[in-house]
Amino acid sequence: MTDDPIVDTHQHFQDLQFGPYPWLDPGRPEGLEGDLSAIRRTFLPADYRALVAGHGVRKTVHVQNGWTSEDPVGETRWLAGLGLQEAPTAIVAYADLSRPDVGAVLYEHLQTPSVRGIRQILNWHEDPRLRVAPSPDLMQQDGWRRGFRALSDRGLSFDLQIYWPQMAMARELAEDFPTTTFVLNHFGMPIDRSAEGLRRWEAALSDLSRAENVAVKLSGYGLGHPEWTPADTVPLLSRALRLFTPHRTMFGSNLPVDLLFSDAARLFEALDATLAPFGPADRTLVRSATAERIYRI
């Protein structure tokens, strides 16, 4: 399986000498990722290639990496400026969909032809350390939904990053915008690995999977569970894969963030273990074909 090509649908680059990344500020309180000191460094295409060498990665999708929200198009321009051989195959950029000028922001992003979608992190949790969104109900707010409609009008997908209690709201949003493709990040972020926590995650994930315009990424294995092992995580990846089917499931390394919890090789080993019960056609879907279709690469 390691010889099959892979599309890595969730990776990040960062240049700390050039870009403003507030989330990597040493003075920022620890959040979901914990101590960031190991990845508080420049991470460029050459660094990424060294980590994934030998694992069959042929194309990548760069997902917005916490560049300052005061300059929402700056990261896209920087990525485009890396050059043809260095730039990612596709880009999921950032926009605050509640901004009145979101249409203009999207227009500027789309001046870079590799932009395929938008991510605005919506994670809301009672614990402030695990909270990113400014309120729990952004998906239901009229102003934000007006901005979301602008994605549909421009053929952009939406990378959906939420916890399981938000999945019912996300399913309603997906049903209200059936022509927009949603990509659930990090297999729904089951950060509570207790038996009850996993039961609720699975039930919510199953409900969300019934919206046919929602796909899922097998990525971010260590988020909220930094001591992850293949034994406790591969069964969860397998459950997400079976709920969404290979036609709506993709792989993402989440490098360099997941270096906080693992070496790169173990990420690919977990993917292989998840795909082992499946036939060649389904493995190809998860490793590359589904991503190529959804991100139009």
Compute how many other C-beta atoms are within 10 angstroms of the C-beta atom of residue 27.
Answer: 5
Query: Residue 2: pLDDT above 80?
Result: no
Mean pLDDT calculated for residue range 141-156 = 96
% of the chain at pLDDT higher than 90: 98
Query: Band of the pLDDT at 117, cuts 50, 70, 90?
Result: very high
Q: What are phi and psi of 90, to 5 degrees?
A: -140, 160
Q: DSSP state, 41?
A: S
What does the pLDDT read at residue 85? 85
Question: Which tens digit of pLDDT belongs to each residue from 257-286?
Answer: 999 999 999 999 999 999 999 999 999 999
Question: Which tens digit of pLDDT belongs to each residue from 63-95?
Answer: 999 999 999 999 999 999 998 789 999 999 999
Query: Band of the pLDDT at 3, cuts 50, 70, 90?
Result: low
Q: How many CA atoms lie within 13 A of 294 on its CB side?
A: 34
What does the pLDDT read at residue 1? 43
Assign residue 151 the CATH number of its domain. 3.20.20.140
Which residue has tokens 């690919």?
268
d(CA 169, CA 294): 22
Q: Is the pTM above the cut of 0.95?
A: yes
What's the mean per-residue pLDDT of the chain? 96
- Identify whether 149 is part of a domain: yes
What does the pLDDT read at residue 81? 95
- Identify whether 36 is part of a domain: yes
Domain span at residue 87 reads 6-294
Query: Band of the pLDDT at 157, cuts 50, 70, 90?
Result: very high
- Identify whether 78 is part of a domain: yes
Which residue has tokens 């989330």?
23
Number of domains in the chain: 1
- Identify whether 1 is part of a domain: no
- Identify whether 257 is part of a domain: yes
Contact 272, 2 (CB under 8 A): yes
d(CA 201, CA 282): 24
d(CA 34, CA 258): 11
